[in-house]
Amino acid sequence: MHTAISVDVRGDVDRLYALAADVPRWADFLPHYRYIRVVADSGPQRTVVMAARRGPLPIRWRSVLELVPAERRILFQHIGGPARGMYVEWRFEQHEGFVRATITHDLTRLAYPLVAMPLGRYILAHWFIDPVAGKTLACMRDIIEGMGESDTPQRRHDAAR
C-alpha cells in the first residue's frame, strides 16, 4: 500500500526545498510538531527522533533521514515507532508559477504484524499519516506564500508570538 499527498505552492522550488530540508528545525515553524532530535549524523544520513501531534494525540517515531538536494528529494526510513519499516519520499517539482510538493508513503514493509495487516495499514494511513502530512504541507505552503524576500521561517514564527 502506498499513499501520496500533494500541495501546490506559489513560489520557488529551491526556497520550498530549503524549508522542508531543514528537518531539525520543523518544530520551530510547524505548530503540530513537538520536537525533532538528531541522534546520529553520518554524512548524508541522520537519525532523527520526531514527535508531533495528530489532533490531541502525541505521536513519536525514529527515522533515518537523507537529503538529496540535487534531485530535490527528502527520504525517510522509519526505524522506530508504529510505522517501523515505512519509507517516505518527498519530491519537489517546479511548474510554471508554482511548485508541486508531494509526499509518498510506502507501507509495504511495515515491521509490526498488527500494523501491517490491512486494517492496521488503513488506520495508519488515513488516521495518522494523511492528517499529519497534509498539515505539514499546508503549513509549509502558508509559510512560503506569506514570506517576503528577506523573511525566514524563524523570523515569521517569532513575529507570531
For residue 101, the tally of other CB atoms under 10 A from its CB is 26
Phi first, then psi: give them for residue 103, nearest 5 degrees.
-115, 125
pLDDT at 2: 94
Phi first, then psi: give them for residue 128, nearest 5 degrees.
-125, -60
Polymer length of the chain: 161
State the CATH class of domain 2-160. Answer: alpha beta
Asked if residue 44 lies in contact with residue 66, where contact means CB atoms within 8 angstroms, the answer is yes
Asked if residue 35 lies in contact with residue 160, where contact means CB atoms within 8 angstroms, the answer is no
pLDDT at 156: 42
pLDDT tens track, the chain, 161 positions: 999 999 999 999 999 999 999 999 999 999 999 999 999 998 889 999 999 999 999 999 999 999 999 999 999 999 999 999 999 999 999 998 899 999 999 999 999 999 999 999 999 999 999 999 999 999 999 999 997 655 555 544 444 43
3-class SS of residue 8: strand
pLDDT at 161: 34
pLDDT at 44: 83
- Amino acid letter at 135? K
- Amino acid letter at 14? D
Asked if residue 74 lies in contact with residue 67, where contact means CB atoms within 8 angstroms, the answer is yes
